[in-house]
Structure 1
Amino acid sequence: MNVSGEKVLITGAGGVIGRALEKELRDAGYSNVVSITSKDLDLRDQVATEDAFKAMQPTLVFHLAARVYGIMGNMSNRGIAYLDNVRINTNVVDAARQTGCRKVVAMGSTAIYSDRVRLPMSEEEIWIGEPHYSEAPYAHSKRGMLAQLAAYKEQYDMDYAFCVSTNLFGPHDKFDEKFGHVIPSLVSKFYRAAELDQPMSVWGTGKAERDFLFSSDAAYALRLIAERHSGAINLATGESHTIRHTVDTLCEISGYRGTVEWDATKPDGQKLRAYDVSRLDALGFKPRVKFEDALAITYDWYRNNVASARK
C-alpha cells in the first residue's frame, strides 16, 4: 500500500493510544500526519469541527477522541458520558464525510457487547442484547457511531473500520485512581503505596478476568486495520489475565511489600471478557510486548513522570 499520499488525521492524539499511533504511523512511512487533542479543538462543537476538517482535508481519519471513564466514572456521569460522546462521534464522522475522507478508523469499546453474549465475543454479536448497566450510556454512544459509519458506507461509500477495543494501557495514560481504567488506576495506587508504605485497597475480589492490550501493540494493530480491513473488528490479544494476577505483578514491579486489601463490597464489573480475534489474526497481528513487560514499562514511565502525568 502506498502511504505517501495519505493525509492522516488523529483525533484524541494526546491520549495513551494517540501518542503511540503517531509514532507507529511515522515509523511505517506516513509522512503527512496531523494530531489534534481536546486543547486544539472541541469536537463537541459541530461548526468548529467542520471548519477544522475543511482546512485539513484528511483522507484517512483515526478517530480516538472520547469522553472516557472507568466503571465508577461511567456510573457517576451517565448523562455526560452519553451526550458528549454522541456529539463528538457524530460531528467527526459527518465532517469526514463532508470533506471527502476515504476512510474512518474509529475506536469503539468492549462495553458495546452485552454481558450475556456468548464467549469469546464475536463481532457478529455486537447488536445482540443490552450492554452492562454500569457502562450502558457510554456503550450506546459507541453503538450509535457504528450505525452511523455503516449508514455512511451504504449511502456515501465512505469506508470505515470500527475497532472494538479491549482494555488499553501504557505510557501517557490517564492515571486517575477514582474514575480511571483498571491498570492506570492500579499503577498510581501502587506508586503511592510503595512511596508511603501504606496499605493498598483494590475494588472487587480480583477474580474478574480482562484482556489487556499495550498501547504500542494497539497502535500497530490500528495501522494494520487501516491498511487491510473494513467493518467491525475486535482489537484485543485473545488472552486474559485476572485482576489478582495484575495486582501481584505490580507488587513485584513496584517493590511494594505492604498489605493488599480486596474490597468485595465494590463491583468486579463483568466477570470475564474474552474476544474472538480471528479477524485481527487474519491481518497478521501478534502482540510484540509481553503483558508483564508492558506493565513494567508503564509503571516505570509513571514513576519518572508522576508530576506531569494526567490524573
Structure 2
Amino acid sequence: MSTVILVTGGSGLVGKGIEHVINTEPEGSRFGKRANETWIFATSADGDLRNPEQARKMFEKYKPTHVIHLAAMVGGLFKNMKYKLTFLRDNILINDNVLHTAYEQKTQKVISCLSTCVFPDKVEYPLDELKIHSGPPHESNFGYAHAKRMVDVQNHAYKEEFGCNFTSAIPTNVFGPHDNFHLEDAHVIPALIHKCYLAKKNNTPFIIGGTGKPLRQFIYSHDLAKLFIWMLREYDDVEPVILSVGEDEEVSIKQVADAIVKAVGFTGEYSFDTTRADGQFRKPASNKKLLNLMGGFEFTPFDKALDASVKWFLDNYETARTGKPSQ
C-alpha cells in the first residue's frame, strides 16, 4: 500500500531539512526514502491553514495517509513578546484545522511540531515529557506556548474519543540551512549570523542583545529531520517525545556569538547590549526517552552544523536576508 506523507510548512527550516534528508540518505535506509512513499512539501501557496475550507481542500488534493505538521506562525523572542494574541490565535486556528481535517479525512497518523517553550517557566530541570502542563509558560512567549500546548491536549482527546494516531515532537532550538534570517523576526542563531555578516560588511561593531549568559540546547535541522522520520515510521504513542541533544550540550549565547564570529570571519569589536531582555536563563531538556526508544543517535557537532548554516546564508544572501516565517 502506498504512503503519502504531507509535510505542512514544507518550505520552512525543518521542512527543508526533512526534504534534504529524504533526498540524500540512501533509499530504503532508516532515514532515506522508501519505494512506496510519496513526499509532499506543502507551503502557504497551497492554502492558508488558518482557513478550514483551505485546509480541507489541501487534504482532498493530496490525500495524505500521514502528516508531519510543521506549519506555524513563528518568530524570535521580541516578536513573541509583541504579538502574543496573534501568535495564540493564528496557531490555534492552524493546529485545529490540520488535526480536525486529518480526523475527517481518516489520515492514519499526524505528528505535530511543538516547542520547548510549552514547558512551565517555574519547573524542576531537566524538562521531560511529563512536565508540559505543570504550570504556566514563560511570559515572553505566552501566546505561542499556549497554542502549542493545546496540540498535546487535542492529541489525547482525539485518541480517546476517536482512536486517532496523533502525536507530537518537542524540539529544542533548531537552526540550519533555509532558516529565517530576517533581522527582526529571526531566532537567535540566524539573527546573530545576519548581524555579524552586516557588521563585517559595513566595518561596524557586532552588538548582541542581552547579556550573553543564557544557556540553550541547539539541534541542527538535518538531525531533527532524521528524528521526525524516525517518529513517522517507528513511534505510535500519543505521548510527545523531546527531540534534542543532551543536557550536557547546553551552550551560552556568548559561546554561540563566539562561534558565529569565527565562522563569518569577523575581526572587529563586538559587545553585549545588557539593556535588552534575555528571556529564560536556561531550560535544559532531557533526551533520555528519545535515545532509549531509538537505541542511540549521532548528532552533528555544533561547530560543524553552524559552519554549514553560515555557508548556506552567505551563498543565498539575497533571498535569506528577507526570510519570512513559514505557514
**TM-score bracket, shorter-length normalisation:** over 0.9
Determine helix, strand or coil for the equivalent of 1:39.
helix
> Aligned ranges for residues 284-299 of structure 1 at < 5 Å?
284-299=295-310
> Aligned ranges for residues 54-65 of structure 1 at < 5 Å?
54-65=60-71
CA RMSD in angstroms, aligned pairs only: 1.3
**Please, which moves more after superposition, 213-222 or 54-63?**
54-63
Contact 1:221 1:285 in 2 (8 A): no
1:17 is aligned to 2:23: no
Determine helix, strand or coil for the equivalent of 1:10.
strand
Q: Distance in 2 between matches of 1:218 and 1:271?
A: 23
Q: Distance in 1 between matches of 2:121 and 2:183?
A: 25
Aligned partner of 2:4 among 7, 10, 19: 7
**Higher relative contact order by CA 8 Å / sep ≥ 6: 1 or 2?**
2
Give the TM-score, by structure 1 length: 0.96
Give the TM-score, by structure 2 length: 0.91
Q: Which residue of 2 aligns with 1:166?
A: 172
Q: Distance in 2 between matches of 1:25 and 1:295?
A: 21
Q: Distance in 2 between matches of 1:119 and 1:203?
A: 25
Q: Distance in 2 between matches of 1:201 and 1:40?
A: 39
Task: Give the letter for the 2:16 counterpart.
Answer: R
Q: Which runs of 5+ in 1 are unaligned?
A: none
1:68 is aligned to 2:65: no
How far apart are 1:179 and its partner, in Å? 2.2
Q: Distance in 2 between matches of 1:271 and 1:235?
A: 20
CA offsets 1:228-261 (integer angstroms, 9 cap, x no match)? 2222111111221110001011111111111112
1:29 is aligned to 2:33: yes
Q: Which residue of 1 aligns with 2:29?
A: none
Contact 1:201 1:262 in 2 (8 A): yes
Q: Which residue of 2 aligns with 1:87?
A: 93
Distance change (3 Å), C-alpha of 1:261 and 1:252 = same
Aligned partner of 2:284 among 271, 274, 285: 274
Contact 2:181 2:190 in 1 (8 A): yes
1:96 is aligned to 2:102: yes
1:118 is aligned to 2:124: yes
Q: Which residue of 2 aligns with 1:304?
A: 315
Q: Which runs of 5+ in 2 are unaligned?
A: 26-31
Contact 2:209 2:276 in 1 (8 A): yes
Q: Which residue of 2 aligns with 1:132?
A: 138
Aligned partner of 1:196 among 190, 202, 209: 202
> Aligned ranges for residues 143-162 of structure 1 at < 5 Å?
143-162=149-168
How far apart are 1:66 and its partner, in Å? 0.3
How far apart are 1:185 and its partner, in Å? 0.4
Q: Distance in 2 between matches of 1:188 and 1:287?
A: 28
Determine helix, strand or coil for the equivalent of 1:117.
coil
**Please, which moves more after superposition, 193-202 or 123-132?**
193-202
4+ runs deviating over 4 angstroms: none
How far apart are 1:117 and its partner, in Å? 1.1
Q: Distance in 2 between matches of 1:285 and 1:101?
A: 30
CA offsets 1:32-79 (integer angstroms, 9 cap, x no match)? 111101122110110111122123221110000000011100011111
CA offsets 1:181-222 (integer angstroms, 9 cap, x no match)? 000101111111111111011111111000000010000011
Task: Give the letter for the 1:154 counterpart.
Answer: E
Q: Which residue of 2 aligns with 1:261?
A: 271
Contact 1:9 1:33 in 2 (8 A): yes
**Please, which moves more after superposition, 249-258 or 87-96?**
249-258
Q: Which residue of 1 aligns with 2:186?
A: 180
Determine helix, strand or coil for the equivalent of 2:169.
strand
Q: Which residue of 2 aligns with 1:53?
A: 59
